[in-house]
Chains A and B, each alone.
Chain A
């Protein structure tokens, strides 16, 4: 079982470029999350999707958009990347949202120059 798969694992962008981080889970989970992690800080929630077709803002949504394409996939888009978006991005999924265990991907390391 792959669990939660994130692509790409590494990406370097120039300021103003756009890109999409992809996330897919094979556990038939309803809820999916995008977090970012910066050095010395915990994870901060960017967006959350309780179920297919629904999305909700988290703690730090500015500069990001998301798409819950289907039950399996939840993508995160940076329309115009900024150096402040240099971070490690984690996707996670859960069968029952915050009431249960989250399963995490291995992270996508993004550098914006």
Chain B
């Protein structure tokens, strides 16, 4: 499977703390994306990082990509209760256009 693996599977932190989630993948990629899913809802795109980029920021989100280690991390700074959700990484499947998702990290931010 080309599926990414995410670590940890679950994370519980206090409001104001930082949350870090990791994603590893198996083959070379063109880009890696992160998505968020609130309980019972569809996924929402957060950020896309291309294979020639090492770091990208969007608001309180920071994504890094290490293609030599085939891994990425998502950092959410100064977390809020509203950040409670599941977070998924996704990688393109060669040049087919298919996007393959990892199993996700469930984040709980306690007020």
A residues at B contact (CB < 8 Å)? 4, 31, 33, 35, 40-45, 48, 50, 56, 58-59, 90, 92, 94, 97-107
Give every chain B residue within 8 A of A33 (Cβ-Cβ). 98-99
| Count of inter-chain pairs, beta carbons less than 8 A | 75
B48 CB–A CB distance under 8 Å: yes
Give every chain B residue within 8 A of A101 (Cβ-Cβ). 33, 45, 48
Chain B 5-16: CB-based contact to A (< 8 A → 1; otherwise 0)? 010000000000
B residues at A contact (CB < 8 Å)? 1, 3, 6, 30-31, 33, 35, 40-45, 48, 88, 90, 92-93, 96-104
- CB pair B30 A99 closer than 8 Å: yes
Top 9 A-B residue pairs of the complex, sorted by shortest distance between their CB atoms: A97-B97, A98-B92, A104-B42, A42-B103, A43-B101, A101-B45, A98-B99, A42-B101, A104-B43
